[in-house]
Structure 1
Amino acid sequence: MLALLAGCKTITVEERHLIRPDALSGQAPKQHLDLPGAKEMELARPEGAVLKGVLLEKPGAKLTVLYFGGNLFHIDDAGDKVAKALAPCNVNLAMMDYRGYGRSSGTPTVANMADDALAVFDYLDQRYPGAVAVHGQSLGSFVAAQVARHRNVAGLVLESTTTNARDMVNNSIPWYFKPFIRVELAPSLLAADNTAQLSHVQAPTLMMTGEADEVTPPALAQKVFEALPATHKRFVVTQGAGHNNVLSNPATAGALCPFLHAPAML
């Protein structure tokens, strides 16, 4: 009713509305998390930011998974949950806090998050040549897609993903307001398009989404899946899972571990 009385309204969405580093969100990570056996990683960037993360190596592991978390992800809050979920898969696991989040310094943008991700991948690929897969959740799925677009990744896992920034914003607007709202996105956000990035990706890909995900609905994830030209790909809808609990769902290891061990991955 308010929208009707006020007439149509234009909403401009900037990067700061979707990328929420600690300085904007006010969310500080918990006390430094001690992950048994983890080695600390540190990568200095040309602009002065320092990326910090951890590497957990498993004896005999043939694959290393580089994990990109969602918005508000901190290693010290959720790194142990990611490590626990991937433990049955017997892979090495690398995680970095985005710049401006948790352990890492600097200010994130769409552009430098993509550049940082490529730099971290290159660092790991030198250590484990041709045996690094990328896994991205929510916001991290856009980062992982960028890496898969520009590097020869051993495999790609997209969790709780969606098509593009515009669809994500539109999905957050109640249907009864949509006739009265016009959304404009910053140019950098318009470039955040998974369907466009992944249309060039041939790497083996696993997509996992929650059946009850209201943030990035399965219908949008399905569109991303259809854009993939890869011949080795699988789409899994986890029953009862929402946006942030796909990886912790007991059914996930049954899909994730066999994918990471598939011959096409190595």
Structure 2
Amino acid sequence: MKKLFPLVMLTAILSSGCMTVTVSSKQFVPRDTNKLALLKTSAPDYQTRDIEFVQADGSISRGVYFSKPGAQATVLYFLGSGIRLDADGAFFLKPFADLNLNVIAFDYRSFGRSDATTKTHGLKEIESDTAALYDYARGMVQGRLIVHGHSFGSFVAAHLAGQRKLDGLVLEGTGTDARTYAQNLTPWFAKPFVSYNVVGDVAEVDNRRSLQEIQFPILIIAGKRDTTTPEPTARELFDGLKQRQKRFVSVDAGHMDGMVFPEAKVAYKQLLQDVENSK
């Protein structure tokens, strides 16, 4: 309501003469257009099972296991900041059904389905959760387990890659470090007037450092229209990787939709082949 009526009044003021405004329930009733339940029709061969894991401090990580018999591999998927499974899961999980892959994904602590025992937490807790969830997922599934991080989740996944020997790693909508990430969120016209004081655990976030010693296949997916994590920052990260089994794909995407493009899916299949060949 707060957004609708100011817009209606403004339109009336700017318009010359009388006008009729049609108001229906669409303006008042919110809708999650990418609810998990939609996967029942878009990926009918898959089942979505609720799962949960109790962290060391008693916090509960809750998520889903999106699977079907005979899938080629399993992906442990780390969502972007502010993204929750129940609202956006269908959009993010569907491309993996197209690739014949299972997916395990959790909401972050104290967000979405998940709960936390403490009122405040930071990256240290998220990183600890991430390692525990990887170990849990590794014990759950047989065969290959690919770690995939999108946006903020790409920093989480990269840190994990520095702590565990993975079968393969995918970073989508990623960049180099926290300062650059913050700068990219600032409009170009405001950048001359903004300085950044990166403090605490955020100051330690640097994908280049996390990935400097990895020895397993990696794929970076960048969007040409991505203004949050622009393609050049993803390319900078890629160029600095010492790992020979690395792939970079640029698609005509924004920040959220890289995986829906055919080129990204082709690159994913190539990564899976790299994983098989590396064993």
- Normalising by the smaller structure, the TM-score range is 0.7 to 0.9
Out of 269, 272, 276, the position equivalent to 1:260 is 272
Provide the rounded CA distance (Å) in 1 between the counterparts of 2:147 and 2:181. 22
8 Å CA contact 1:195–1:224 kept in 2: the answer is: yes
Return the alpha-carbon distance in structure 1 between the equivalents of residues 145 and 194 of structure 2: 43
1:81 Cα deviation (Å)? 1.6
Q: Does 1:33 align with 2:33?
A: no
In the alignment, structure 1 residue 118 sits paired with structure 2 residue 131 = yes
Query: Counterpart amino acid of 2:266?
Result: G
1:48 corresponds to which of 55, 58, 61:
58
What TM-score, normalized by structure 1, do the two folds share? Answer: 0.82
Post-superposition offset of 1:248: 2.2
The corresponding residue for 1:97 is 107
Shift of 1:251: 3.3
1:134 CA displacement: 0.4
2: CA distance between counterparts of 1:252 and 1:169?
A: 26
Tell me if structure 2 keeps the 8 A contact 1:202–1:228. Answer: no
> Which AA in structure 2 matches 1:236?
V
Equivalent residue for 1:202?
215
Deviations 1:123-157 (A, max 9, x none): 11122366211000000000110111111111000
1:68-217 matches, within 5 Å, as 68-106=78-116, 107-128=120-141, 131-175=144-188, 177-217=190-230
Q: Which fold has the larger relative contact order, with Cα–Cα distance below 8 Å and residues 6 or more apart in sequence?
A: 1
Cα separation, 2, equivalents of 1:137 and 1:61: 22
- Runs of 5+ unmatched residues, structure 2: 1-30, 41-46
Q: CA–CA distance in 1 between the matches of 2:33 and 2:260? A: 20
- Larger gyration radius, structure 1 or structure 2: 2
CA distance in 1, matches of 2:222, 2:161: 19
* TM-score, normalising length: structure 2: 0.78
User: Between the two proteins, what is the percent identity of the paired residues?
Assistant: 35
Q: Which amino acid aligns with 2:212?
A: S
Distance 2:35 2:259 in 1: 22
- Contact kept, 8 Å, 2:32 with 2:88, in 1: the verdict is no
How many pairs does the alignment contain?
Answer: 239
Deviation for aligned residue 1:180 = 4.2
- Aligned with 1:38: secondary structure? strand
Question: In the alignment, is the contact (CA less than 8 A) between 1:138 and 1:159 conserved in 2?
Answer: yes
1:130–1:154 contact (8 Å) kept in structure 2: no
Query: SS at the partner of 2:195?
Result: strand
8 Å contact from structure 2 (residues 35, 89) kept in 1: no
Check whether the contact 2:229–2:255 (CA below 8 A) recurs between aligned residues: yes
Q: State the Cα RMSD in Å.
A: 2.4
* Alpha-carbon distance in 1 for matches of 2:141, 2:133: 12
Gaps of 5+ in 1: 1-27
Matches within 5 A, 1:2-13: none
Cα 1:126–1:74 change in 2 (3 A) is same
- Opposite residue 158 of structure 1, the aligned amino acid is L
